[in-house]
Structure 1
Amino acid sequence: MKKLLPILIAAAFAPALASAADLKIALIAGKTGALEPYAKETETGFLMGLEYLTGGKMEINGRKLKVIVKDDQSKPDMGRTLLAEAYGDDKVDIAVGTSSSGSAIAMLPVAAEYKKVLVVEPAVADAITGDKWNRYVFRTARSSMQDAMAAATIAPSGSYGFLAQDYAFGRDAVKAAKEALVAVKSKAKVVHEEYAPQATTDFTASAQRLFDALKDKPQPRVLTIVWAGPSPMNKLADMKPERYGIVLAPGGNILPVMKTWKNFAGTEGTIYYYYAFPKNKMNDWLVAEHTKRYKAPPDMFTAGGFAAASAVVTALTKAGSGDTEKLIAAMEGMDFDTPKGKMTFRKADHQALQPMYHFRIKKDQKSEWDLLELVREIPASEIPLPVKNKR
């Protein structure tokens, strides 16, 4: 019996040891609800990123990767609950999420409570790496201010009105846009802000208030649309803003939305990612493989999911384990390759510094997805992102 005892003990602990050998990653996304297309792209990009970066082995330093996907339905309460479940019950080493800024903000204190790293992707609200930030939070997604700073570089003068969704993403974006115009010393003036519920389908009243505010202001008169999900741009165009000398300016969106913009050839804007813009081996693989598998090129949130995967793999490899303090030490100031090129986690607030793109809607679109032409890549060095957190 004495001889058997060590064997029995080893057998009893074998499942626990095997489980501990896995590196566990939680991916939380709004797979149900208005942001479902974003969540689907994020998940696809994240898994493709892990595949590419591990050479198809799905392991790091000999340890298998296990991805646990959870749907928070873009609801803050659910996002908070699912992250606590991932850290507490699933014992994940690191978590990634989520689609909604509201849900992401609700998740931040949970990362601090459990003392575990959370990589935010693709939520953009400035508060995530601003006043709601804590040391366990890193963001691969661009922030509202990065969006705004990029857009401000192509807005030298004129009068601007904003139509945005009435929640964290929309209000943050407009606030950031106003700050960005000041930061780049633009002569452009914001003359009106209009906020509408996310479920709005009739934009008549909002549009008329914007038209009235802009119509007598100095040219160019620009109505900027900040909208997650199906864009209201075509509905606004049907109200003929050109009667008042007003032009519409869309922010970059997902490919199915931008497909509906053919009538706006020549219109310019800025975007986080468009599959044909970056020139590097990682993006070449993503475009070719995604097109092969899904019969369409990767979208902006696909690239975002891939970037998050790269951050996770680079961090786990560099840290040598899933230990939180080792991960934080590895990630602060860390460079990592993405389909957009190199990103860097700024040590001050853990925001990924990254390039953006100035686009023009193509006049001659040769295929279903031949939508944009590149005016210029805006390097991270030209986006002087302010630090807004408190360490």
Structure 2
Amino acid sequence: ALMDYGQQMQRGFELGLEYATNGTMAVAGRPIEVIWEDTTTVPEVARERAIVLLDEDQVDILVGPTSSADAFAILGLAEEYQKVLMLEPAAADFLTSGVSNRYVFRSARNTAQDSNAMAAVMINNVPNAKVSVLAPDSAFGRAYVTPFVAALEEKGGSVLTQEFPPADATDFTPYIQRIINSDPDYVFVIWAGANNPWRQLSEMGVLENFRVSTGAPEIAALRTMFELEGQSGFTVYYNEVAQNPVNDWLVKEHTARYDMVPDIFTSGGMAAAMAIVTALEKTDGDTDAEALIQTLRGMEFDSPTGKRWFRPEDHQAQQSLFEIKFVTKEGYDHIVPELVRVIPAEEVSDPVQTTHAR
């Protein structure tokens, strides 16, 4: 899956450079050269290949990677080589905490922002909602649950039970039964992988008798989620949900070139490219890290999901997300996220975890 995410991100980044430079692929007379390396989703490999880019290719800016573990492996290199690292789409919220450094910016959203969006959806529909959670017993699952619990409680809700089946589970019966017994207002499901719990949730009556929410993932995963018809959730991006000129251009161009609509990580790649070009325009093409840091801090930039800006303290991008309803549509081979409302950045914003020296 991460390989697919990488391809999406690469296509989006290249389209973003084209859009932001009006097709010139240059800023202030300086041509933009992009060199791609595959991390193979192995942190040690990610670090080795980042060093090659920095030492041998003498790159001015690093962008990526897909995996948060890979991102953690290269955070320190940005400071060591004094080069800006633009994180996209790695989402673990700790990457912009105290383990980070002043050379690191993230144009992507993070897991805490996802959690805030999910909590906002639930509280918007059921004030003081009582929620039960089903998530894999993995770093991925717990990285979502921990900030979600804090976000929900801050908004007046509470968590009744947290169920963590093994990430490779194929029988979810005891975990689902305990959730049913807790009688929640909402069931929050966090899952990634083909062994998803949707069929059993349907068979055990959860989807019929309870409100169930989740984040709308990439289109490949949406093909396995038809059981969620009528349920609510949130999304970072879906090609028909984001409504602005940048996304209109992205959908048109991506469909023309690749015979498919853009996906979540395509949007993210484009956002990272637009942030970089915006900063380079402001520095008149100067790629010096200090010039870029001072420019990027607090800088607003456009993206396929609307305006974003980098928080000056920890360099985490602030952005809107989308409340959606899952619907079926004729001619679609997947469940479709339909826009309910834009969740403003103020509702999504995560706590500042560190403040970098200026």
Q: Same fold (TM over 0.5)?
A: yes
| Contact map agreement 1:165 1:226 (CA 8 A) in 2 | no
Matched AA of 1:339? P
Establish whether residue 352 from structure 1 lines up as the match of residue 317 from structure 2. Answer: yes
Instruction: Name which of structure 1's ranges 156-165 and 335-344 shifts more when overlaid on structure 2.
Output: 156-165
Q: Compare relative contact order (CA 8 Å, sep 6+) and give the higher one, 1 or 2.
A: 2
For 1:221 and 1:369, how far apart are their aligned partners in 2?
23
Name which of 239, 242, 261 aligns with 2:206: 242
Match for residue 122 of structure 2? 155
Other-structure match for 1:8: none
Give the equivalent residue in structure 1 for 2:126. none
Rounded to whole Å, the distance in 1 between the matches of 2:323 and 2:80 is 40
Deviation at 1:162, TM superposition (A): 2.3
SS in 2 for 1:71: coil
8 Å CA contact 1:54, 1:60 repeated in 2: yes
Aligned counterpart, 2:258: 294
Counterpart of 2:145 in structure 1 is: 174
Aligned residue pairs, count: 350
Deviations 1:217-272 (A, max 9, x none): 13325141232x54614444465353995554332200121123223210111110
Q: Distance in 1 between matches of 2:269 and 2:241?
A: 17
- Does residue 150 of structure 2 align to residue 164 of structure 1? no
- Distance in 2, Cα, partners of 1:252 & 1:369: 11
Q: How many Å apart are 1:182 and its aligned residue?
A: 1.9
Amino acid at match of 1:56: G
Percentage identity across paired residues of the two chains: 35
In the alignment, structure 1 residue 74 sits paired with structure 2 residue 41: yes
- Note if 1:63 corresponds to 2:33: no
Unaligned 5+ runs, structure 1: 1-33
Q: Does 1:193 align with 2:163?
A: yes
The Cα of 1:141 is off from its aligned counterpart by: 0.9
Q: Does 1:122 align with 2:89?
A: yes
Distance change >3 Å, CA 342–CA 235, structure 1 → 2: same
Q: Are residues 1:276 and 2:240 paired?
A: yes
Q: Is the 8 A contact 1:41 1:302 kept in 2?
A: yes
Q: CA deviation at 1:183?
A: 2.3
| Residues 243 and 271 of structure 1, relative CA distance in 2, 3 Å threshold | closer
**In structure 2, distance between residues paired with 1:144 and 1:383:** 10
| Larger of the two Rg values belongs to structure | 1
Shift of 1:192: 1.6
The Cα of 1:151 is off from its aligned counterpart by 0.2
CA distance 1:221–1:62, shift in 2 (3 Å): closer
Alpha-carbon displacement from aligned partner over 1:22-72 (angstroms, at most 9, x marks no partner): xxxxxxxxxxxx411111100010001111111222111111111000000
Q: Is the 8 A contact 1:282 1:338 kept in 2?
A: yes
Match for 2:312: what amino acid? K
Q: CA deviation at 1:185?
A: 2.1
1:267 is aligned to 231
Contact 2:216-2:337 within 8 A present in 1 as well: no
**Aligned-pair RMSD on alpha carbons?**
2.0
Distance 1:84 1:183, change over 3 A: farther
Distance 1:59 1:370 in 2: 40
Cα–Cα, structure 1 residues 247 and 382, in superposed 2: closer, same or farther, change >3 Å? closer
